[in-house]
């Protein structure tokens, strides 16, 4: 693939910069960032590492403006916009030449992982719903700005045939597969079990637990020793909120799926692990993931007093994917702001 021009890099950065939130220190850095020039993948020229700072003050805190979107939700409509590490993630070649497929890679945590993987030298395919094309385009531009191959894979993962096709398309587009990140999910808060209809229950289980099962099964024949599967679980698997009954049940199932599969695949040299985020500021939350009256206070009950930003998850996804994590098998890495988790 041809290296991007400086203009392409700048365009992608401008797009990305629109997503920057955070402390004045970070904004100042973004403005001061050196003009990107044709450096190798790794993003060092286009990003500045965040300085040491108080994590309580690093990002926006509640109260947040009341807001509501239809699911699956779009990044541009969030107030404030999340930070996915566009201006801060600095790579160092830890995933050089790897090929990764991230479901739900258009926004939120999946977007942060996609940016970090590309800056670490990986080619990246992202899965998403067709309604999220706008978000997906921004991520594709960011991956290409690093000189990496980017593959856009729209598709609804609630059926096995689509999951199989997505894996085949990812393998074709990337030339193989070394990293599968099962990150897509559905979350709709309901006050009571009586308000969860079978349609929602089924769609939540299809998206959050059947799809990782189908995708992983289809991916297996392509994964060689050294490859990894990473599942995004949640602190709700350990401390389930009463209004996320169906969603929390799927995350509990995915923790056990991760641990059992890790034992199976270790014998083939394939590592399976999970990341358990705490409350993170992503489109999932204003598009029904939280009850509307709870959203302004989102993240307040975390000991850090604020929600996490997707950018704060990137390091965990990189560690589990990289060879530095070679002895991590069946682990659930908590990134929770202090909320009880694994
Ligand atoms: P997000 O909305 O940005 O990402 C979720 C993605 O799932 C969407 O972008 C969408 O592309 C995908 N998706 C949903 N239904 C789909 C379907 N039927 N077919 C294909 N793709 C589908 O939100 P996020 O918070 O970044 O979520 C990423 C992961 O993090 C999820 O597994 C979520 O459960 C988990 N998580 C989030 C939080 C949080 O507070 N945001 C906390 C713990 C765990
Ligand atoms: Mg999305």
Question: Within a domain: residue 312?
Answer: yes
Pocket test for ligand 1, best of 156, 238, 277 (most atoms within 8 A of CB): 277
> Whose C-alpha lies nearest to ligand 1, atom 41?
280
Q: Which atom of ligand 1 is nearest to the CA of 132?
A: 11
Give the tens place of pLDDT for each residue, 180-195. Answer: 999 999 999 999 999 9
Give the tens place of pLDDT for each residue, 6-29. Answer: 334 434 443 443 333 333 333 323
Q: Which ligand has the nearest atom to the CA of 189?
A: 1
Give the tens place of pLDDT for each residue, 150-206. Answer: 999 999 999 999 999 999 999 999 999 999 999 999 999 999 999 999 999 999 999
Give the tens place of pLDDT for each residue, 99-133. Answer: 999 999 999 999 999 999 999 999 999 999 999 99
Question: Within a domain: residue 330?
Answer: yes
Number of domains in the chain: 1
Q: CB of 222 within 8 A of CB of 167? A: yes
CATH of residue 189's domain is 3.40.50.720
Q: Report how far residue 135's alpha carbon sits from residue 282's, in angstroms, rounded to the nearest whole number.
A: 12
Domain that includes residue 120, residue range: 93-335
If you measure from the C-alpha of residue 327 to the centroid of ligand 2, how many angstroms do you get, rounded to a whole number? Answer: 32
Question: Within a domain: residue 58?
Answer: no
pLDDT score, position 49 = 81
pLDDT score, position 48 = 78
Question: Within a domain: residue 53?
Answer: no
Q: CB of 275 within 8 A of CB of 266? A: no
Question: Within a domain: residue 158?
Answer: yes
pLDDT band of 50, cuts 50, 70, 90 = confident
CA triplet 267, 271, 274: central angle to 5 degrees? 135
């Amino acid at each position: 693939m041809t290296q991007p021009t400086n203009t392409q890099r700048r365009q992608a950065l401008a797009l990305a910069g629109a997503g920057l939130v955070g402390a004045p220190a970070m904004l100042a850095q973004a403005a001061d960032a050196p003009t990107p020039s044709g450096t190798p993948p790794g993003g060092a020229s286009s990003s500045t590492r965040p300085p040491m700072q108080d994590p309580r003050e690093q990002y926006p805190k509640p109260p947040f403006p009341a807001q509501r979107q239809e699911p699956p939700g779009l990044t541009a409509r969030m107030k404030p916009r999340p930070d996915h590490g566009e201006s801060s993630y600095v790579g160092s070649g830890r995933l050089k030449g790897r090929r990764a497929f991230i479901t739900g890679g258009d926004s939120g945590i999946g977007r942060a992982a996609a940016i970090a993987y590309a800056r670490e030298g990986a080619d990246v395919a992202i899965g998403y719903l067709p309604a999220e094309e706008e978000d997906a385009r921004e991520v594709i531009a960011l991956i290409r700005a690093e000189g990496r191959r980017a593959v856009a894979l729209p598709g609804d993962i609630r059926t096995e045939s689509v999951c199989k096709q997505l894996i085949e398309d990812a393998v074709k587009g990337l030339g193989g597969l070394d990293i599968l990140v099962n990150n897509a999910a559905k979350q709709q808060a309901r006050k009571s079990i009586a308000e969860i209809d079978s349609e929602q229950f089924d769609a939540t289980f299809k998206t959050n637990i059947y799809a990782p099962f189908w995708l992983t099964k289809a991916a297996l024949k392509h994964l060689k020793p050294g490859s990894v599967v990473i599942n995004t679980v949640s602190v709700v698997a350990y401390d389930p909120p009463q209004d996320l009954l169906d969603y929390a049940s799927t995350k509990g199932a995915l923790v056990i799926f991760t641990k059992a599969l890790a034992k199976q695949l270790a014998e083939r040299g394939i590592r399976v692990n999970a990341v358990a985020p705490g409350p993170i500021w992503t489109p999932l939350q204003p598009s029904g993931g939280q009850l509307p009256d709870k959203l302004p206070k989102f993240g307040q009950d975390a000991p850090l007093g604020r929600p996490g930003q997707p950018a704060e998850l990137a390091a965990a996804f990189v560690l589990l994917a990289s060879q530095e994590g070679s002895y991590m098998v069946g682990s659930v890495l908590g990134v929770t702001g202090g909320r009880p988790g694994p």
